[in-house]
Amino acid sequence: MPNSVFFNKYKSLFDSLKIIVASSRERVLGIEPDKLFEENVNFFVKSYLVCVCTYLEAYLQDVALNLSADICERFNSARIPHNFVCWKTSKEVKDKDLRFTEAIFSISRKELADELSANPYKTIRVFRFLGVDLTKDSEFKKYKDVVNSIVSKRNSIVHQNDVANDISFDDIEVYANIFIDYMSSIDKAMFKGA
């Protein structure tokens, strides 16, 4: 199932953020620095890092939800008896579990959000359930560890109030480019896995 519409949407958001980051850097390093930006560089950098990770997570949820909806639609259109699904997926079927209806599957955004985050290992797990093995994709493997470290840094900022003095506006632009390439690898894997 093609997901390039999602890739394009989020790439556009990353590209817009990179313009904002470049403008912020110019406000700090320009001939007449903007005091607000100059005195709050760390706040802006941390905010942009949170945005980068938020965009990635939203992309992942959108593509996973789209693929899940497609899988559910295909399954539901097959009109498979509920009892057959119970029999083939459970070790022990109890009479109370039996219903003489068609099996109907659906998935909500909340269900996905509870399982999926920008963390690559959670991403791998959920996409395996959707029939896509991201670990087989060389591009995904190339970016997985660096994405994990960026997401971990974001988690430290959000959950432990990390001061994040080790990241800059330049880093945010690099992270955005990495995330674009990472999303592209997932998009390509989705095409292969569909």
Q: Is 178 inside any structural domain?
A: yes
**Does residue 87 belong to any structural domain of this protein?**
no
Q: Which residue segment(s) compose the domain that 158 sits in?
A: 4-74+108-193
How far apart, in whole angstroms, are the C-alpha atoms of residue 189 and residue 138?
A: 10
What pLDDT score does 141 carry? 95
Give domain status of residue 98, yes or no: no
Rounded CA gap, 44 and 32, in Å? 18
What is the reported pLDDT for 157?
Answer: 87
The rounded distance, in Å, linking the Cα atoms of 126 and 135 is 12
The total number of structural domains that make up the chain: 1
The pLDDT tens digits of the residues spanning 61-111 come to: 999 999 999 999 999 999 999 999 888 888 888 888 888 999 999 999 999
Query: Is 103 inside a domain boundary?
Result: no
What was the pLDDT predicted at 3? 58
Enclosing H/E stretch for 116: none
pLDDT at 4: 82
Higher pLDDT, 174 or 86: 174
Residue 173 in domain:
yes
pLDDT of res. 151: 95
> What is the sign of the dihedral through the CA atoms of 45, 51, 55 and 57?
positive
Helix (H) or strand (E) holding 134: none
7 contact partners, CB below 8 Å, separation of at least 6: 59, 183, 184, 187
Q: Is residue 135 part of a domain?
A: yes
Per-residue pLDDT at 139: 92
Q: Shortest CA distance to 64 belongs to which of 13, 18, 118, 16?
A: 118
Phi, psi for residue 118 in degrees, rounded to 5: -70, -15
pLDDT beyond 50 at 1: no
Distance CA(112)–CA(119), nearest Å, equals: 13
Residue 155's pLDDT band (boundaries 50, 70, 90)?
confident
State the pLDDT at residue 194. Answer: 43
- Give the pLDDT band (50/70/90) at residue 168: very high
Least confident of 92-96, 131-135, 169-173: 92-96
Q: Is 84 inside a domain boundary?
A: no
CA dist 145 and 113 (Å) reads: 21
Give the CA-trace dihedral at 117, 121, 127, 128, to 10 degrees. -150
pLDDT digits (tens, 9 = 90+) for 5-63: 999 999 999 999 999 999 999 999 988 989 999 888 999 999 999 999 999 999 999 99
